[in-house]
Amino acid sequence: MYKRRPLERRAARLDALAGSGDWQSRIDAGRRQLEHWEAQTWRARSAELAAADLQTALRRITAEHLAWNRLKLSPAEPVPEIDGWRIKAEINGKLKEDGVMGMVQAIAEHQPRILIEQLSVSLQRGQTLRLQLGVVVTREERAP
């Protein structure tokens, strides 16, 4: 009888917890949040394909906002916890007349997300820009 009381109290607490809210709505909200995050995540079958996708996206953005630029991608770093990679890029260039905000906005609005790690703008020789970026890529599931 003595050992049964703690178990009965625990069962009562678990019953109260189970009845204390709309769990299905919480599950649905969590699923929607997960879908939102997954939509912002880079996916690729290999690090090389991910780097090519990033390079294509950055070339499109830089062509619109920079008069000239130099783009350098670092080798992909494995991230075993997510079975993926981290890819960093550095852009150096001269801004067109519309300034830095248009480029920052284009990067911020890009889907999947690109993280701006460091940004510096110099007024010497026009407006020159140095930008360090990064993305985290998860391995894309292969079709059966």
From 17-26, 91-100, 108-117, 129-138, the region with the lowest mean pLDDT: 17-26
**DSSP secondary structure letter of residue 83:** T
Q: Which residues of 46-59 are buried (b: 16+ CB within 10 A; e: fewer)?
A: ebeebbebbeebbe
Segment of 14-23, 77-86, 119-128 carrying the highest mean pLDDT: 77-86
Cα diameter, the chain: 85
Query: Distances in Å between the alpha carbon of 54 and those of 51, 81, 82, 86, 89?
Result: 5, 21, 19, 11, 9
pLDDT category at 11 given cuts 50, 70, 90 is confident
Q: Which three-class secondary structure state does DSSP give residue 88?
A: strand
- What is the spatial distance between Cα 70 and Cα 35, in angstroms, rounded to a whole number? 35
pLDDT in tens, 42-74: 999 999 999 999 999 999 999 999 999 999 999
